Chain A
Amino acid sequence: MAYPYYNYTNPFAAQYQPQFVQPQPIQTGITWIGNQGEAEAYPLAPNCAVALWSRSEPVVYIKQSDATGRPTIKAYDITERSASSASHGATGADNLTQIASEIKVMQSALEGLRNDIKKLTEGKTDESDV
């Protein structure tokens, strides 16, 4: 007598076979383009705007369209902020302190001049009165 389950194959066996999983590309959310021509040809819905980053140079194209779908493109050059310009706020504060102290010095000098003029004027007035 033959064993009835001898040729039995597990119908779920295929599920446990290792499968090659293709790595998915990472979505950065940045739309890169090659040149301005690609920016001009980039499809845009009416009343929309999209930022297109150049792959070859530090430029961002802002493409906008009005209600009729007519597109306009503006190109913006990107410049990296250096360490000196990043600390611009602190430099500005230092400058303000310096300017304030200079103003105080000038005020005291002006006060001295006023006193001198006053003395001279009073002397003249005394002479004219005589």
Chain B
Amino acid sequence: MNPMFNLQQMVSAIKSNPVGFLAQRGINLPAGTNDPNAILQQMLNSGRVTQDQVNRAWQMAQKYR
């Protein structure tokens, strides 16, 4: 990816094809996993992300709701 990536492009890419987007970064999820919560759960179960990271991301996201 271009280091000067466009955040909007990145968001639209992950929204349109989250499994493909993550697969490009070495995170392989079962095909058809489109629900964000299911994706997060898979990543938590596999240890790709920590619970603390999810909590902080959730807390950041709720500020922009």
Contact = CB atoms under 8 A, between A and B. Distances in A.
Interface of A: 25-32, 41-46, 48, 50, 69
- Say whether chain A's binding surface is mostly helix, strand, loop, or mixed: loop
A45 B59 contact: no
Task: Using C-beta atoms within 8 Å of the partner chain, give the interface range for chain B.
Answer: 10 to 19
A25 B58 contact: no
Interface of B: 37, 40-41, 44-45, 47, 50-51, 54-56, 58-60, 62-64
A43 B37 contact: yes
A66 B18 CA distance: 28
Given A30-B59, A44-B44, 12 more contacts: A25-B63, A25-B64, A27-B59, A28-B59, A32-B62, A42-B37, A42-B58, A43-B41, A44-B51, A45-B45, A45-B47, A46-B45
